[in-house]
Structure 1
Amino acid sequence: MHIDVLTLFPEMISGAFNSSIIKKAHEKEKFSYNLVNFREYADNKHQKVDDYPYGGGAGMVLTPQPVFDAVEAVTKEKALNPRIILMCPQGEPYNQKKAEELAKEDHLVFICGHYEGYDERIREHLVTDEISIGDFVLTGGELGAMVVVDSVVRLLPDVLGNEESAPEDSFSTGLLEHPHYTRPSDFRGMKVPEVLLSGHHANIVGWRKIESLKRTYERRKDLLDLQTLSDEDQKILNEFKNKNI
């Protein structure tokens, strides 16, 4: 996979690409990336990339020319159909399913805006996806883009140390992940559940499934409405509900 990030502030993003799992993935050539300051593509004397909105109103709007030219420059020698992603509050709410979808692509291009917004022609004629990481507004799209990049890169083959890590993550199964424990087994009187110390694999799997259902029921009931539950799962949920009556 190759990732291009179009931004007016590449320094905001470079640190994340040079840290932790993303850095290791890049060093192992699991993906490549390029940070592009699209101000360099402005065709005016002062490299201006924004202007006042037609019709009046507060703030400044990113003009289409620098963004179009920058995207065309980074895509002309890459895959024929890259995913061109606009980070914006009006976009599709981001989730794990979308991360898994994007992780199958060969080329992702992120457009990170600033100021009041984008010229609508960027949305209508350039991008393939609009993504929002939540119902709030940031000063720019850089932080949102890094959230998406991090969640996608970790899903690429051989990026995580354990191949079972990603499939068991919260949301990957449609449910929240079960609790985790490690040594010591008794910390200040707080003990690890006995089943995890038993070495009985089937019992551990069953416990984790019950705890995953319980945590989802307690914290994100909305996720359960999207699941096709087995009779056994529904029986477990009914027990949780009866205890809360």
Structure 2
Amino acid sequence: MNRLISLQMDKLLPRGPPPSLTTLPPFLVLYSSSACHRVPHSHSLTTTRTTISSLIGHKISESIMKNYPQDTQDSIKQQQREGYCKEACEYNESKPVADDILPHILNLYASRATPKDFDIYAPHATFEDPLMCAHGVKQIKSSFYSLSKAFSESRIVEYSIKENAISPGKEEILIDNKQYYKFLGKDINMISLIKLYIEDGKIVRHEDWWDKKPLWNRDTVKLPVAGRIVEMTRRASMWATHAIMRFGKDPTV
């Protein structure tokens, strides 16, 4: 029985010295940090190079690399470098959503908004602060176009940004900021937390929390009736502003 097992083992695992470079086995096993690849070996150097091209991005150990001729090693290293460069370029292309949105937000708060700045909003977007509650892009336009009517100066002077991914295509952008206004010759400095909710690259909800305090509504106050009254007051203020600003009509240049 032992001899029979030994004979079977001899068939499966041939004994003798390790194969030389010219007698490599049909499949060469390459180990990387993330996977194990079985690469068909061929005596044709061209075929070997073609096969190795599939290993771009994987780290090959020095001991395995030595099994190849020098020109093949150079080819592997060159293709790996090209693969790493491509991955780095692709990574850099995916820039944060805030990079596109922030310049327009700064324009809105600086009383220099143009119609183009409102393209960051979805058609059904909302904007809320302690004074107003705007529904739709036209009302949002009225809210920000009115800043220049109420204040001689306005702008965001300091800010920091944090992005949170909620789900595929949905993000939350938090802008911790300090705002400056000049009203009747008096300087007003206010800290604020701007919360932007993004869907498919567009703002669907814009909240401005003055002093970083949550907005009052039926969901955030203890008495739902009081919250409802606050909501109605903010909506009435919005409609009055909307009428004064000609219902979101863009100013003529």
TM bin, normalised by shorter chain, reads under 0.3
Structure of larger gyration radius: 2
Higher normalized contact order (CA 8 Å, seq sep 6+, divided by chain length) = 1
- Name the one with the larger strand percent: 2
